[in-house]
């Protein structure tokens, strides 16, 4: 096994974006592709490491870009400013994530008929919106993502299987949001799962998260359990 990586530029509505592709060059046939949607800080080492881990597991990983090439946030105010326009325009958010997934499917290393997407925090909302848009992907996985639905998704059907890995004590996603998402996914005809981890806050997969006041704290048990749930889900939907 030899993991290779490359940066891929793509554009949407006149703006340039840059994703990070990782694959095992010992593969003799195209492999399933999995897009990785980033947190509110932008595509960084965390997401790129996830793409590499996917390549090591037999997939092609693609850390996508929702903010534009070279755009990153530091601190709460900068990060909030980056996601605010996309939260206010969910049609644009959905167009951007669909574009990124289409770029993934165009790569020669990828089997375009077997695609999935996963995301963290803001990226969790991003991949849920990918599913809400009716995208032809096999499945989406949200890690400690936001659940609030856009108004445009009312009455839409969801083709992708959905897995949400959620900290039950996440202050950004209270229990009523979980129930609302369950009702939404059921109404949309989705094949869905929500795994809620007790005594677990936001950002539980990020070892650098240690801000109890903000409600974001790493949890090794939830990280391990959610990683196993991801592995099982991808094995099912991308078989």
Domain map of the chain by residue range?
Answer: 3-237
Q: What is the pLDDT of residue 100?
A: 98
The percent of residues above 90 in pLDDT, for the chain, comes to: 96
pLDDT recorded at residue 169:
98
Residue whose tokens read 């989406």: 140
CA Rg value for the chain: 16
Strand order in the sheet with 3-12: 3-12, 15-24, 60-63, 31-37, 110-120, 139-143, 161-167, 192-197
Indicate the pTM of the whole model: 0.97
pLDDT tens for each residue of 122-175 = 999 999 999 999 999 999 999 999 999 998 766 679 999 999 999 999 999 999
153: Cβ contacts below 8 Å, ≥ 6 apart: 90, 129, 132, 133, 184, 188
Residues 186-208: pLDDT tens digits? Answer: 999 999 999 999 999 999 999 99
**Quick one: pLDDT at residue 94?**
97
Q: Do residues 22 and 60 touch, judged by C-beta distance below 8 A?
A: yes
Reported as a single tens digit per residue, the pLDDT across 55-81 is 999 999 999 999 999 999 999 999 999
Q: In the prediction, which pLDDT does 152 show?
A: 72
Average confidence (pLDDT) over 213-239: 98
Non-local (6+) Cβ contacts of 171 within 8 A are 201, 202, 215
What's residue 116's pLDDT? 98
| pLDDT given for residue 151 in this prediction | 83
* pLDDT score at 155: 66
Q: Identify the pLDDT of residue 154.
A: 65
Q: What percent of the chain has pLDDT over 70?
A: 99
Query: What are the CA-CA distances from residue 120 to residues 4, 26, 86, 152 (Å)?
Result: 23, 29, 16, 22
CATH architecture of the domain with residue range 3-237: 3-Layer(aba) Sandwich (3.40)
Residues in the chain: 239
- Predicted local distance difference test score (pLDDT) of residue 156: 79
């Amino acid at each position: 096994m030899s993991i290779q990586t490359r940066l891929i530029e793509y554009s949407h509505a006149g703006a340039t974006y840059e994703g990070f592709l990782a694959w095992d060059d010992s593969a003799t046939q195209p492999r399933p592709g999995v897009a990785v949607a980033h947190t509110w800080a932008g595509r960084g080492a965390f997401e790129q490491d996830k793409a590499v881990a996917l390549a090591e597991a037999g997939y092609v990983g693609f850390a996508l870009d929702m903010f534009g090439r070279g755009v990153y946030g530091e601190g709460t105010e900068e990060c909030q400013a980056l996601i605010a326009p996309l939260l206010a325009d969910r049609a644009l958010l959905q167009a951007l994530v669909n574009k990124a997934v289409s770029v993934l499917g165009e790569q020669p290393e990828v089997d375009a008929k077997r695609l999935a997407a996963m995301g963290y925090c803001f990226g969790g909302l991003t991949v849920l919106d990918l599913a809400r848009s009716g995208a032809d992907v096999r499945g989406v996985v949200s890690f400690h993502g936001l659940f609030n639905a856009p108004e445009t998704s009312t009455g839409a059907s969801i083709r992708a299987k959905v897995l949400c890995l959620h900290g039950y004590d996440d202050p950004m996603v209270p229990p009523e949001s979980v129930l609302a998402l369950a009702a939404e996914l059921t109404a949309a005809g989705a094949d869905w799962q929500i795994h809620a981890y007790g005594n677990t806050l936001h950002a539980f997969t990020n070892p650098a998260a240690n801000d109890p006041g903000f409600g974001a704290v790493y949890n090794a048990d939830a990280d391990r359990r959610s990683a196993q749930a991801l592995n099982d889900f991808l094995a099912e939907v991308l078989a």
